[in-house]
A = this chain, B = another copy of it.
Amino acid sequence: MRPDEFQHALSPAGEFSSDDKAAVYRAIETRRDVRDQFLAEPLPDELVTKLLKAAHSAPSVGFMQPWNFTLITDEATKQSAWEAFSRANAEAKLMFAEEQQALYSSLKLEGIRKAPLSICVTCDPTRGGDVVLGRTHNPRMDVYSTVCAIQNLWLAARAEGVGVGWVSIFHDADIREILGIPAHVEIVAWLCLGRVDVLYGEPELAVKGWRQRLPLEELLFRDRWGAR
């Protein structure tokens, strides 16, 4: 392979205009984890396809593209998922100190029945064969690729006026049974999607007093852990 063999595949790729940069930062900064602002109108197929294409544009280890997307609009299926959430959430509440439980109970932590569309995002670790370029020393890279796809979808959704909420409170086995997901496939996320016309200006858990944003500078080190 000569060093210049692939030069023709390179394209100019400088920085965006100020306006275009601002749009990207606006998607990043105003994206929210939505639980209750979903409007009832169904999402058009073409719009959902655009969001899924954004997800499918994510980086993936060894270009294995390990993701699948199961789109759920069936009401009975959403009801079953909501029941799985409700059972798990009752357990989760009891993990907190008594003085936190009232605030916990007041938080709406999912929008499964309200959002017109749910998407179960999964990772198939067998997609690229037994050996995947870049996964040998970190076997979790396939799931990380899948999470990158979720974040792509989430940001594209913000630009489209679609809210997304990531539900993580359920027993894996319940969702696996409800959707018939094979044992070798990993469930990464249950996402709720629907149009929104309002969003919280700050993350909902900050607005509602659960936990506040940390100062970024406290999270940065220089050249070595702990050095500033």
Contact = CB atoms under 8 A, between A and B. Distances in A.
The copy count of this chain in the complex is 2
Interface residues of A, number: 124
B23 A20 contact: yes
Contact of A71 (B74, B210, B223): B223
Contacts of A12: 197-198
Interface string A165-201: 0101111100000011110010011000000111111
Contact of A131 (B95, B158, B216): B95
B225 A159 contact: no
Interface string A138-164: 101101100110111011101111110
A106 B21 CA distance: 35
A147 B137 contact: no
B10 A199 contact: yes
A53 B215 CA distance: 10
Contact of A10 (B77, B147, B198, B203): B198
A168 B156 contact: no
Interface in A20-37: 20-33, 37
Contact of A168 (B31, B64, B131, B135): B135
Given A20-B23, A62-B205, A223-B70, A13 B180 contact: no
A68 B220 contact: yes
A168 B137 contact: yes
A15 B198 contact: no
A162 B27 CA distance: 18
Chain B CB within 10 A, most for which of A19, A200, A210, A214: A214
Contacts of A64: 211
4 nearest A-B pairs in the assembled complex, by CB-CB distance? A15-B161, A20-B23, A13-B199, A23-B23
Interface of A: 1, 6, 9-16, 19-33, 37, 49-50, 52-54, 56-59, 61-65, 67-74, 77, 88, 91-92, 95-96, 104, 106-107, 109, 122, 128, 131, 133-138, 140-141, 143-144, 147-148, 150-152, 154-156, 158-163, 166, 168-172, 179-182, 185, 188-189, 196-203, 205-208, 210-214, 216, 219-226
